[in-house]
């Protein structure tokens, strides 16, 4: 981040008034961000859980921090905060209105019946168990993030996902033809 700032500050200064925010009230009221942060944001580094293995902690760190998996896979409340008790349980109203599957280990509505290899395939290449490929936003995640991880990191993610609380939560399924991804 500091390198980004250093670069931006080397650019020539341009004297042009900023555009006004086009968010409708109250979303444009900056002071409210501190309220939102008090509700949903805990600053500080990831704190490993000493009761868990290193592999689990690595997975938790990748899923919760670096991978931002919950930004899409966790449903949100009316204020736009992630519902803590629904971690990774999927949502019908993901970013850009997308349908985001439940990836908790629930056998009916989540990925509880998937083998480690099934999950590994998705993270590595986007291949789903029924021989389709993930598309859209997850396609980008696979392309830009999970396909570039080491195998050990992908396996740590799987270990972590498998220990999540199984949450029964059915999201609508897309019934589209295989994506072009
Ligand atoms: C930008 C939003 C976004 C992010 C971030 C994201 N996903 Fe996804 N994920 C999706 C969408 C959308 C799908 C459904 C894709 C499809 O079926 O075409 C999906 C599908 C999946 C599936 C397949 C589940 C199923 O039932 O088909 C798994 C497993 C998965 N994601 C794991 C992860 C993990 C692990 C991370 C973090 C490293 C992650 N996702 C981050 C949007 C996201």
Note down pLDDT in tens along the chain; length 181 residues: 999 999 999 999 999 998 887 888 888 888 988 998 999 988 888 899 999 999 999 999 999 999 999 999 999 999 889 999 999 999 998 888 889 999 999 999 999 999 999 999 999 999 999 989 998 899 999 999 999 999 999 999 999 999 999 999 999 865 444 444 3
CA-to-CA distance for 48 and 57, rounded, in angstroms? 6
Ligand 1: residues with CB < 6 A are 63, 67-69, 71-73, 95, 98, 100-101, 103, 111, 119, 122, 128, 134-138, 141, 145-146, 157, 179
Report helix, strand or coil for 112: coil
Nearest-CA residue for ligand 1 atom 15 is 134
> 143 Cβ partners below 8 Å, 6+ apart?
126
Per-residue tokens: 6: 């250093």
166 closest CA partner among 114, 99, 92, 97: 114
- pLDDT, residue 130, reads 92
- What pLDDT, on the 0 to 100 scale, is given for residue 179? 44
- Give the ligand 1 atom nearest the CA of 66: 38
Residue to substitute in 105, 134, 147 for testing ligand 1 pocket (most ligand atoms within 8 angstroms of CB): 134
């Amino acid at each position: 981040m500091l390198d980004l700032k250093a670069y931006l500050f080397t650019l020539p200064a341009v004297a042009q008034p900023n555009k006004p925010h086009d968010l409708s009230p109250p979303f444009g009221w900056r002071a409210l961000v501190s309220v939102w942060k008090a509700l949903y944001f805990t600053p500080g580094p990831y704190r490993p859980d000493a009761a868990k293995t290193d592999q689990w902690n690595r997975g938790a760190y990748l899923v919760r921090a670096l991978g931002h998996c919950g930004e899409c896979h966790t449903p949100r409340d009316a204020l736009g905060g992630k519902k803590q008790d629904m971690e990774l349980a999927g949502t019908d109203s993901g970013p850009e209105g997308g349908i985001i599957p439940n990836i908790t280990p629930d056998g009916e509505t989540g990925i509880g019946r998937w083998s480690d290899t099934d999950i590994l395939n998705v993270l590595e290449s986007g291949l789903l168990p029924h021989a389709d490929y993930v598309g859209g936003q997850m396609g980008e995640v696979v392309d830009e993030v999970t396909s570039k991880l080491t195998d050990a990191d992908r396996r740590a993610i799987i270990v972590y996902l498998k220990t999540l609380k199984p949450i029964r939560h059915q999201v609508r399924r897309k019934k589209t033809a295989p994506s072009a991804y």
